[in-house]
Amino acid sequence: MRKVALVGAGVSKFGVRKASYRDLVWEAGKACFDSIPGVKPKDIEGLVVGSVMPERTAFQSHISSMAAEALGIRPTALSARTEHMCASGTVGIRYAYAFIAAGLADLVMVLGVEKLNQPSGDEAILNMGTGVDREWEAAFGLTAPPCFALAAQRHMAAYGTTEEQLALVGVKNHTHASKNPNAHFNKGATLDQVLGSRMIASPLRLFMCSPITDGAAAVIVASEDRARALTDTPVWIRGSGQALDGFQLTSLHEDYAHWPAMQRASASAYKAAGVGARDIDVAEVHDCFAIAELIAYEELGFCAKGEAGPFVAAGRSDYGGDVVVNPRGGLIGCGHPLGATGVAQAAEVFAQLRGEAGARQVPDAEIGLTHNNSGMGEHIVMIYGREWA
């Protein structure tokens, strides 16, 4: 396999945006091209677009061709869309990585985009019911918030995790988001605010949930030769893994607080990268709800099973701790425009490993990890390095 690196990255402003779907593509695409002046649209050989439900929200399909035309890209090697619910963007990066590693292209853009608040945020919540089993779960009200609430209740019962420990994830990620001008929320949050926010699905309160967000992000992925010619500071893709336990919550999880597929996905990524959990300096994990971040600490190996509550309470996932988790604000603070999320996570790790993250910079960050889940049963992990090995 050839070595593969990120050489450029850019994100749009996240939030409830007036911008159209195409405006978001333009905003992230332009920011990405601006980050690497040596690359013009005509140089891009492939475009992969992660997007979950443009047919339902923007009444648009045929997405990668639309985005290519909008950005002036004429793909010669690859043009595709990835739809894999909340992990769509990272799946797109894996496609580009494999394609370049196999020698089929040298320069591919991966763009993630979602315009959820159209026609309204309420309708987006309804639309997101398509991501769980329509016949056996969504029809009975088992959409994402209650699914993750069941995991939280199980974690609390099994390990004594407290509502305050869940709330501390919300405090940390809203506080991180306050240093990110592109985040959905910029005001930060105190423990009292998180614990006093309205209940969504017990024990998950509003500030422990990701919101309904519009946004886009893009990265440029390059072969080793092209990366070295374009920049002195490429960010190498060191490893990647993906694993599935199941689609249905109700039939496929013996214990909602254990997500073994995340362990398997991270084991593959750590093995390929030649690193372990203790080597990770910065991690962007899929905190669609606070409990998801706690379980991620455990399944990614940052702490032992059942120890995530004390881990966050001791500040071990914050600046000055073992690993800085979600410096851009995570999905809770930054927002979760489904298809854009995984690409925005990669853009953050790209900035962090190049020392370009400004007020959010994790000191001396050398190895970064991104994690997405799609539902609770499927996980995808990428590991990036400032150096190749």
Cα–Cα–Cα angle for 286, 288, 293, nearest 5°? 55
Stretch that binds ligand COA, among 153-161, 203-211, 271-279, 342-350 (CB under 6 A): 203-211
Q: Can you say whether the dihedral through the CA atoms of 196, 198, 201, 205 is positive or negative? A: negative
Cα–Cα–Cα angle for 308, 313, 317, nearest 5°? 65
Measured from the CB of residue 57, what is the shortest distance to ligand COA in angstroms?
A: 13
Of 162 and 186, the one with the shorter C-beta distance to ligand COA is 186
Of 249 and 367, the one with the shorter C-beta distance to ligand COA is 249
Measured from the CB of residue 251, what is the shortest distance to ligand COA in angstroms?
A: 18
Residue 194 touching ligand COA (CB under 6 A): no
Residue 342 touching ligand COA (CB under 6 A): no
Count of residues that interact with ligand COA, criterion CB under 6 A: 16
Distance CA 313, CA 292 (A): 16
Contacts of 84 (CB under 8 A, 6+ apart): 50, 91, 374, 378
Residue 84 β-bridge partners: 86
Count the alpha carbons within 13 Å of 116 in the hemisphere toward its beta carbon.
Answer: 30
Residue 50 touching ligand COA (CB under 6 A): no
Q: Which of 78, 221, 237, 288 binds ligand COA (CB under 6 A)?
A: 288
Name the 3-class secondary structure at 76.
coil
Query: What track of x and - describes contact with ligand COA for positions 84 through 103 (by CB under 6 A)?
Result: --x-----------------
Q: Which of 207, 236, 256, 350 binds ligand COA (CB under 6 A)?
A: 207
Measured from the CB of residue 176, what is the shortest distance to ligand COA in angstroms?
A: 14
Residue 336 touching ligand COA (CB under 6 A): yes
333 DSSP assignment:
I
Query: What track of x and - describes contact with ligand COA for positions 293 through 332 (by CB under 6 A)?
Result: ----------------------------------------
Of 165 and 341, the one with the shorter C-beta distance to ligand COA is 341
DSSP state string for 140-161: GT--HHHHHHHHHHHHHHHH--
Of 352 and 372, the one with the shorter C-beta distance to ligand COA is 372
Residue 171 touching ligand COA (CB under 6 A): no
Residue 138 touching ligand COA (CB under 6 A): no
Measured from the CB of residue 124, what is the shortest distance to ligand COA in angstroms?
A: 8
H helix or E strand, kind and range, residue 56: helix 54-57
Measured from the CB of residue 303, what is the shortest distance to ligand COA in angstroms?
A: 23
Catalytic residue positions?
Answer: 86, 336
Measured from the CB of residue 333, what is the shortest distance to ligand COA in angstroms?
A: 8
Q: Are 369 and 379 in contact (CB under 8 A)?
A: no
H helix or E strand, kind and range, residue 126: helix 121-128
Stretch that binds ligand COA, among 1-9, 120-128, 244-252, 297-305 (CB under 6 A): 120-128
H helix or E strand, kind and range, residue 15: none
H helix or E strand, kind and range, residue 111: strand 107-114
Of 35 and 374, the one with the shorter C-beta distance to ligand COA is 374
Closest C-alpha to 293, from 305, 284, 285, 304: 285
Give the Å distances, CA to CA, from 154 to 95, 198, 295: 35, 21, 11
Measured from the CB of residue 216, what is the shortest distance to ligand COA in angstroms?
A: 17
Contact footprint for ligand COA (CB under 6 A): 86, 121-122, 125, 128, 144-145, 200, 206-207, 209-212, 288, 336
